[in-house]
Amino acid sequence: MKKQRRRWHSVAGEALTEMDKVIMGWENKGKLVPTRDLIKTPEQIEGIRKAGVLNTAVLDHVAANIHEGMTTEEINTLVHTYTVEHGGIPAPLNYEGFPKSVCTSINEVVCHGIPSEDEELMDGDIINVDCTTILDGYYADASRMFVIGKAEPRVQKLVDVAKECLEIGMEVCKPYCFVGDIGNAIAKHAHKNGFTVVRDLCGHGVGNAFHEEPDIVHYGKKGTGMLLVPGMVFTIEPMVNMGVYDVFIDEEDGWTVVTEDELPSAQWEHTFLMTETGVEILTH
C-alpha cells in the first residue's frame, strides 16, 4: 500500500527548527498540519502587509463617503477608482466571472452582493462592504459593516455581536492553535446572544492568491481543523445571522448569498498574520 505523503517534512541538509519539531509532533498525532508553502517568507509578508494598508485605505474611503440615498454602484465606483489610482487591482473584478470590484451585501444578503445602480441605501439598512486588493501581486482581504441612519435595536445588536465574534476569534488565535478553536469560540458567542453562524461559507488563507488553504470555519470543536503556525496568513470573517444559519444563492445572478429565512445577516473580516505571540491584523 502506498503511504500517504506527509504534509510537513524536514528540508534536506537543514537542521530541524523548534517549529518543525512542534508541527511534526502534531502530525504524528494525526492532526492536520500546513504544508511549507503556506508559511509565508518575510518578503511575502511585507508584500501582503502593503496590500493590507491599501485595502484599509479603500475601506476608509468608503466609510468617509457612504450615505443614505447612495447606490451600491456608486460604492463600486469609489472602490475601483481609489484602488486603481493607488496602484492596486480590485481582486473581485472578473474573479470567476464576478462583474464588479467589490461585494456590497445589504440586510438579508450574507455576502457576494453585486453592486447595482438600482440598489439604493435607505435609513435603517445595514451593509457589508467586502474589499480584496491586489498590490504588486499580493492580496489582502477585509470587510466592514455600515449602518445607514439608525437601525432597529435588534439589528444594531446583530452588527455589534458580529464584530465581537471577529474579536473573540482573534483573541483565541494563538500559535499552534487549531482552526476549530477559533470557530468554537465564535459560535459560542453568537449563540449566547441568540444568533447563528453561517456554516456554508468560511474564512481562508490569503496572500499569494485570493483563496488559499486553510478553510477557517466559524463553528466547530476545539482541537479540530488545521494547525495554525507562525508565518501563516488568513482571514477570519464570521457571518452571523439573526435567524437560521441556512443560506441560498440567488439563481438569477449565481453569486448573491441570502439567508434562508431572509432575516438580516452581519459580517466583519480582517486579514491576519500568525506570529510567535498571536495574530497581527494586516488590514487595520
Domain ranges of the chain: 37-281
Complete DSSP assignment for 177-207: EEHHHHHHHHHHHHHHTT-EE-SS--EEE-S
Complete DSSP assignment for 117-178: TT-B--TT-EEEEEEEEEETTEEEEEEEEEE-S---HHHHHHHHHHHHHHHHHHHH--TTEE
User: CA 114 → CA 44, 161, 167, 237, 261, distances in Å?
Assistant: 31, 25, 27, 19, 20
Give the model's pLDDT for residue 1: 39
Residues 42-56: pLDDT tens digits?
A: 999 999 999 999 999
Q: What is the pairing mode between strands 239-241 and 265-267?
A: antiparallel
Residues 112-169: pLDDT tens digits?
A: 999 999 999 999 999 999 999 999 999 999 999 999 999 999 999 999 999 999 999 9
**Buried b or exposed e, range 49-74, using 16+ CB within 10 angstroms:** bbbbebbbbbbebbeeebeeebbbbb
CA distance 250 to 253: 6
Q: Which of 138, 176, 159, 181 is nearest to 271 (CA)?
A: 138
CA distance 135 to 48: 8
pLDDT band of 15, cuts 50, 70, 90: confident
- State the CATH architecture for 37-281: Alpha-Beta Complex (3.90)
For 83, counting Cβ atoms within 10 Å of its Cβ (0-12 exposed, 13-18 middle, 19+ buried), the class is: buried
pLDDT band of 14, cuts 50, 70, 90: confident
Mean pLDDT, residues 26-45 taken together = 96
Mean pLDDT, residues 1-29 taken together = 78
Q: Which of 77, 74, 37, 79 is nearest to 59 (CA)?
A: 79
pLDDT of 210 > 90? The answer is yes
pTM metric for this prediction: 0.95
The H-or-E segment that residue 233 falls in is strand 233-236
CA distance 15 to 128: 47
